[in-house]
Amino acid sequence: MDPQVLRKDFPIFEAHPELVFLDSAASSQKPRAVLEALTRFYATRYANVHRGGYALSEAATEAYEDARKTLARFLGARDPREVVFVRNATEGVNLLAHALGGRVDPGDTILVTEMEHHANLVPWQQLAAHTGAQLKAVPVTEEGRLDLEAFDRLLAEGPKIVAFSHMSNVLGTVNPVAELAKKARAAGAVVVVDGAQAAPHLPLNVAELGADFYVTSGHKMLGPTGASALWGRLELWQELPPFLTGGGMIEEVTLEESRFAEPPARFEAGTPPFAEAVALAEAARYLENAGREAVFAHDQALVRRALAKLKEVPGLKLLGPEGPDRGGVVSFYFPGLHAHDLATFLAERGIAVRSGHHCAQPLHRKLGAPATTRASFYLYNTEDDVDRLAEALIEARRFFDAWIA
Ligand SMILES: Cc1ncc(COP(=O)(O)O)c(C=O)c1O
């Protein structure tokens, strides 16, 4: 996998040749194949799905259902009916928190972790508040890993739902999902994995991972905004009530009541993001062709290089573990200097990074960092991008000397 060759597939780098784009964890850039799939679909095949009896609508329906099959293959699902299209990862978790709500009683426990993105925390907080359940969190160690002994202790309390991320968007930690899922299911919990950061970067096989639900974010994996695949075990989907209700998700409606459709339709009320799903399938194929093992190896090589270089910057604090369980994200800060000031300094040198709490306030609080600046890597980033970041940080160290504690 050669990032210099792949970069040519991404028109954004033609439009901005000097751009050092290190913010793919927020949202990735899109290859031409995905952009063309989207415009081609709108231009030549567009009609609403699952409704029309004419050829164009039937072809659009077929394209949408083919996209579901592609995403099922990409995720390692046994059956395409296990894939529900939602807008984004946030909607995926909200759908699950709503649909699983009937299984939670007052006094029950819902278990999350301290490293969760707010998308995999706030919906569970809300569910706990509405049901009278308690929300508990597995602590994060100083190195930025989950405390596995605490996880075992908390599991012994018999949580109804265990929800955790596959890869942290702040620390880059890749959690041992298969081990955690196996233990949590053995303890009787429904296991929800937030794969928003992992699905774009790691080879995946949800059937083997052993969770019950796996949440992804299409716009972070080269796809357009507005369509993401949410995987769940078919037998669970079949038992669960819908989240949103209305057209497209029913079997039969009278004025008094409704009978709901089988999954996945039960969870896709209204007109789904079918054009975006077709383009997302193109993104999945692009990643398969690039080689998902190769993409992760590339991310890891860049993050190793970044950690080695950034450690040399005097006073710069780095978050996250080192080792094979580290994905392509690095968050850092200079004590005393605001993360936004550092991000602005980098932006002035053509380096696009994110700054703030990255929707993980409890984690930042725990680690004693009010806010951080984050660089994240993907298949189109090069060693030169890492080197430019490191050089700019050395320059920032000198420039902000009076502020840095
Ligand atoms: C770990 C994690 N979960 C969930 C989300 C939310 O993703 P989306 O924008 O698709 O709702 C993000 C986005 O940054 C994330 O990093």
Say whether both 21 and 39 belong to one domain.
Answer: no
Catalytic residue at 359? Answer: yes
Domain with residue 259: its CATH number is 3.40.640.10
Residue 334 has what pLDDT?
96
Out of 247, 266, 288, a domain closes at: 288
Say whether both 168 and 313 belong to one domain.
Answer: no
Residue 255 has what pLDDT?
97
Q: Ligand 1 pocket test: which of 121, 217, 222, 329 has the largest number of ligand atoms within 8 Å of its C-beta?
A: 217
Cβ burial, residue 317 (10 Å; 0-12/13-18/19+): middle
Say whether both 205 and 222 belong to one domain.
Answer: yes
3-state SS assignment for residue 106: coil
Give 164-182 pLDDT, tens digit per residue: 999 999 999 999 999 999 9
Say whether both 77 and 188 belong to one domain.
Answer: yes
Out of 262, 288, 314, a domain closes at: 288
Residue 1 has what pLDDT?
87
Say whether both 190 and 271 belong to one domain.
Answer: yes
Its domain, for residue 337, covers 3-28+291-399
Say whether both 119 and 157 belong to one domain.
Answer: yes
Pocket lining: 120 vs ligand 1, CB cutoff 6 Å: yes
Query: Is 405 part of any domain?
Result: no
Q: Which two tokens stand for residue 17?
A: 């040749």
Pocket lining: 95 vs ligand 1, CB cutoff 6 Å: no
Say whether both 94 and 178 belong to one domain.
Answer: yes
Residue 51 has what pLDDT?
77
Query: What is the number of structural domains in the chain?
Result: 2
199 φ/ψ angles, rounded to the nearest 5 degrees: -55, -35
Q: Give the chain's mean pLDDT.
A: 97
pLDDT category at 52 given cuts 50, 70, 90 is confident
Q: What is the pTM of this model?
A: 0.97
DSSP class per residue in 180-211 = HHHHHHHTT-EEEEE-TTTTTTS---HHHH--
Does residue 58 register a pLDDT over 80? Answer: yes
55 φ/ψ angles, rounded to the nearest 5 degrees: -60, -40
Residue 247 has what pLDDT?
93
Domain with residue 296: its CATH number is 3.90.1150.10
Query: Is 404 part of any domain?
Result: no
pLDDT category at 50 given cuts 50, 70, 90 is confident
3-state SS assignment for residue 167: strand
Q: Ligand 1 pocket test: which of 118, 169, 353, 355 has the largest number of ligand atoms within 8 Å of its C-beta?
A: 169
> Measured over all CA atoms, what is the biggest interatomic distance in the chain, rounded to whole angstroms?
71
Q: Which atom of ligand 1 is nearest to the CA of 91?
A: 11
Say whether both 119 and 208 belong to one domain.
Answer: yes
Say whether both 216 and 353 belong to one domain.
Answer: no
Rounded to 5°, the CA angle 27-28-31 comes to 145
Residue 121 has what pLDDT?
98
Residue 69 has what pLDDT?
98
Residue nearest to atom 13 of ligand 1 (CA): 26
Query: Is 168 part of any domain?
Result: yes
Say whether both 255 and 354 belong to one domain.
Answer: no
Say whether both 138 and 261 belong to one domain.
Answer: yes
Say whether both 11 and 145 belong to one domain.
Answer: no
Residue nearest to atom 16 of ligand 1 (CA): 169
Q: Which atom of ligand 1 is nearest to the CA of 168?
A: 1
